[in-house]
Amino acid sequence: MTASFGVAELQAGESTASLLNRADKALYKAKLNGKNCVMSAK
């Protein structure tokens, strides 16, 4: 079993949709990096 995570910190004035979009992109990068890792959004 593997676990991959994408995390993002809410920026001032950022919408929830934007936050979730950045976290989703970070998750996709984690999966591309071989899974079983955590990637953070910029």
Three-class DSSP labels, 1-42: CCCCEEECCCCCCCCHHHHHHHHHHHHHHHHHCCCCCEEECC
Model-level pTM? Answer: 0.86
Residue-level pLDDT at 21: 98
Domain ranges of the chain: 5-40
pLDDT in tens, 3-12: 999 999 999 9
Give the per-residue pLDDT at 42.
85
* Side-chain-side CA neighbours of residue 30 (13 Å): 20
- Per residue in 19-38, pLDDT (tens digit) is 999 999 999 999 999 889 99
